[in-house]
């Protein structure tokens, strides 16, 4: 499996630089650029698709005292980078007001993210912030390398056209990785379908979706 250094060097190769790094913590311009953009590139790529390896389902903690237009107020999981659905139900099957993401404050006055809904009990199916590259699948790793490359290319090379091309490659590798991930499971006999199947127009032949 690829390490953080491997991914950074793949990104540098995509940029067309001849330099490689031995560690993301070294003081070279290449490593500094990778350090600056790595976390943002990872989170953007995680948000871009409902990746199997990063999908978690957890019961939500009811915080009580919801706004008047909602029945329940739940805490958003701390490691959530994108909420996909509640209780394994596709959001597209329900009105836009099925749930609402919002900011609120806790008992100490600190700002927190909450989910407002009329559903109880509620479980969140979401994409988690998975920081260990040993847990990433190959499709995500490839997309991550292009995501990082598209963010550091202009800084290191000044080549705007290559930066644009790398952004397109990032989008293409997400599409390819998403298709592979969707093929790892079956959509039949499910209450909910993966986002990738829904957008491709898949319908459950048994009529459950």
Judge if 121 and 27 occupy the same domain: no
Judge if 103 and 141 occupy the same domain: no
Examine residue 209 and state whether it is found in any structural domain, yes or no: no
Judge if 59 and 124 occupy the same domain: yes
Give the tokens for residue 187: 């959509």
Judge if 150 and 90 occupy the same domain: no
Number of domains the chain is built from: 2
Give the tokens for residue 201: 């127009």
* 40 or 87, greater pLDDT: 40
Please count the other Cβ atoms lying within 10 Å of the Cβ belonging to residue 97. 11
Q: At 141, phi and psi to the nearest 5?
A: -60, -45
pLDDT at 94: 55
pLDDT at 208: 39
* 182 or 63, greater pLDDT: 63
Examine residue 35 and state whether it is found in any structural domain, yes or no: yes
On the question of pLDDT at 206 being above 70, the answer is no
On the question of pLDDT at 198 being above 60, the answer is no
Examine residue 118 and state whether it is found in any structural domain, yes or no: yes
On the question of pLDDT at 194 being above 90, the answer is no
Q: What is the DSSP string of 24-75?
A: TTSSSHHHHHHHHHHHHHHHHHHHTS--GGGEEEEEPPB-----TT-SEEEE
Judge if 42 and 145 occupy the same domain: yes
| Average pLDDT value for the chain | 86
Last residue of a domain, one of 74, 97, 128: 128
Last residue of a domain, one of 66, 93, 128: 128
Which structural domain range is residue 77 located in? 55-128
Judge if 144 and 110 occupy the same domain: no
On the question of pLDDT at 188 being above 90, the answer is no
Last residue of a domain, one of 103, 128, 153: 128
pLDDT at 64: 92
pLDDT at 202: 44
Judge if 59 and 120 occupy the same domain: yes
Distance CA 88, CA 83 (A): 11
155: nearest Cα among 39, 42, 36: 36
Please count the other Cβ atoms lying within 10 Å of the Cβ belonging to residue 184. 10
Examine residue 64 and state whether it is found in any structural domain, yes or no: yes
Query: For the segment 144-153, what is each residue's pLDDT rounded down to a tens digit?
Result: 999 999 999 9
- Full-model pTM: 0.82
What percentage of residues in the chain have a pLDDT greater than 70? Answer: 84
Judge if 162 and 61 occupy the same domain: no
On the question of pLDDT at 6 being above 90, the answer is yes
pLDDT at 42: 98
Examine residue 208 and state whether it is found in any structural domain, yes or no: no
Judge if 145 and 195 occupy the same domain: yes
Query: For the segment 93-137, what is each residue's pLDDT rounded down to a tens digit?
Result: 555 448 899 999 888 888 999 999 998 889 999 999 999 999 999
pLDDT at 203: 45
Contact assessment for residue 197 and residue 187, using Cβ atoms and an 8 Å cutoff: yes
On the question of pLDDT at 15 being above 80, the answer is yes
pLDDT at 190: 46
pLDDT at 181: 78
Judge if 100 and 161 occupy the same domain: no
């Amino acid at each position: 499996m690829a390490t953080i250094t491997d991914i950074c060097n793949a990104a540098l190769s995509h940029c067309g630089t001849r330099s490689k790094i031995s560690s993301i913590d070294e003081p070279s311009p290449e490593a500094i650029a990778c350090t600056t953009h790595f976390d943002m590139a990872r989170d953007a790529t995680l948000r871009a698709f409902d990746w199997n390896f990063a999908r978690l389902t957890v019961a939500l903690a009811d915080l009580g005292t919801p706004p008047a237009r909602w029945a329940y107020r739940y805490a958003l999981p701390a490691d959530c980078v994108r909420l996909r659905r509640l209780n394994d139900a596709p959001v597209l099957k329900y009105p836009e007001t099925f749930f609402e993401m919002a900011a609120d404050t806790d008992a100490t006055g600190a700002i927190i993210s909450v989910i407002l809904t009329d559903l109880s009990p509620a479980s969140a199916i979401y994409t988690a912030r998975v920081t260990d590259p040993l847990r990433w699948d190959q499709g995500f790793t490839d997309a991550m390398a292009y995501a990082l490359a598209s963010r550091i290319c202009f800084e290191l090379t000044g080549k705007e056209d290559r930066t644009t091309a790398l952004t397109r490659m990032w989008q293409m590798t997400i599409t390819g990785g998403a298709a592979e991930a969707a093929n790892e499971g079956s959509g039949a006999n499910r209450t909910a379908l993966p986002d990738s199947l829904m957008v491709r127009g898949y319908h459950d032949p048994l009529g459950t979706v």
